Every structure is written in C-alpha cells, then in structure tokens.
C-alpha cells in the first residue's frame, strides 16, 4: 500500500531488505588496501586460502611466521613491522583460514599461556609463490 506522499511502501521496503540479507557481501580488495585495519577495527572475512584474499598486512605477518616459525606471537609485531593491535586483529582470521596454527604453552603454574605461531603448508606455499 502506497503512502500519501507516493514514497516506498512498507512491503517494498521489506522486499529490498530481504535481498540485502540474502546477498553474499564480498569485501573489495581496494578497501582493505586503502584502510589501516588496526585503526578501522575491521577484519577480512574467511573463505579458503586464496592468495587474492590475503591483504598486504596479512602477508607481512605470514612472511614473518614462515621465516621465523614457532616464536611467541608478541615477537611477530617487530618481525613483521606491524603494530601489536593490528597483529591481534588479523591473527584470528589467518588461523580461521588455515594459514597458521596457534600452539599454547604455559611455562609455569601461574600466568597466561604464550602463543607460538606455526606456519601451515598453505602459508608456506603462498609465501613461496609470491617470492617467485
């Protein structure tokens, strides 16, 4: 039913929202390239270990993990040249997409566990392919 101003009806609005909800949102690569992830507080969505889905900042971290495996996660911010906050934000995405594996190690009876990052085969291949 149209309203008095001839604007969009409730039904039309509902239909338009449906298509938005059902649609698969694909993050544009250019968007990630032009924003600092740490400041914007965003993370790319998952979906396979496709090189095109790895943004430059993630690649920096992957390269550091492949070159220096099994170090404490805190060490990688220096090795990769990224801020600790950025590292904290992009790490779960790389774990989820099967690039790296987190190994937790508690040295003593108290305190937080250290997280040691292990590069998986997909990360090694990706870094190798990009270097060729």
Partner 1 sequence: MRGKPFHNLMARDVQEIARRFFDFTRREYRFSKNRAVTYLDVFAQRGPIALAFEIETTSRHAVGNARKAALVGVPIWIIVPLRRLKLDITRKLAPLGLRPGGEPIKILLLGQMEQELTNYLSLNIAANTQNGKE
Residues in contact with partner 1 by CB under 8 A are: 69-70, 103-109, 113, 116, 118
Residue 97 is given by DSSP the state: T
User: How far is it, in rounded angstroms, from Cα 55 to Cα 29?
Assistant: 7
Centre a 10 Å sphere on the Cβ of residue 107 and count the other Cβ atoms it contains: 8
Token pair recorded at residue 84:
């600790």
Instruction: Provide, rounded to whole angstroms, the least separation between the CB of residue 7 and partner 1.
Output: 59
> Which residue lies nearer to partner 1 by CB, 9 or 105?
105
What contacts 126, CB < 8 A, 6 or more positions away?
49, 51, 54, 59, 62, 99
Instruction: Provide, rounded to whole angstroms, the least separation between the CB of residue 46 and partner 1.
Output: 24
> Which residue lies nearer to partner 1 by CB, 6 or 111?
111
> Which residue lies nearer to partner 1 by CB, 59 or 102?
102
> Which residue lies nearer to partner 1 by CB, 21 or 108?
108
What contacts 70, CB < 8 A, 6 or more positions away?
103, 116, 117, 118
Instruction: Provide, rounded to whole angstroms, the least separation between the CB of residue 129 and partner 1.
Output: 21
Instruction: Provide, rounded to whole angstroms, the least separation between the CB of residue 30 and partner 1.
Output: 36
């Amino acid at each position: 039913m149209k309203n008095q101003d001839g604007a969009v009806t409730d039904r039309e609005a509902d239909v338009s929202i449906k298509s938005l909800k059902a649609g698969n949102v694909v993050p544009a690569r250019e968007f990630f390239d032009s924003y600092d992830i740490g400041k914007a507080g965003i993370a790319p969505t998952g979906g396979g270990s496709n090189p095109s889905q790895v943004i430059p900042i993630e690649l920096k971290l992957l390269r550091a993990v492949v070159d220096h495996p099994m170090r404490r996660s805190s060490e990688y911010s220096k090795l990769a040249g990224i801020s600790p906050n950025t590292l904290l934000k992009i790490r779960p995405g790389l774990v989820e997409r099967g690039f790296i594996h987190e190994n937790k190690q508690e040295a003593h009876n108290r305190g937080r566990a250290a997280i040691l990052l292990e590069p998986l085969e997909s990360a090694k291949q990706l870094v190798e392919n990009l270097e060729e």
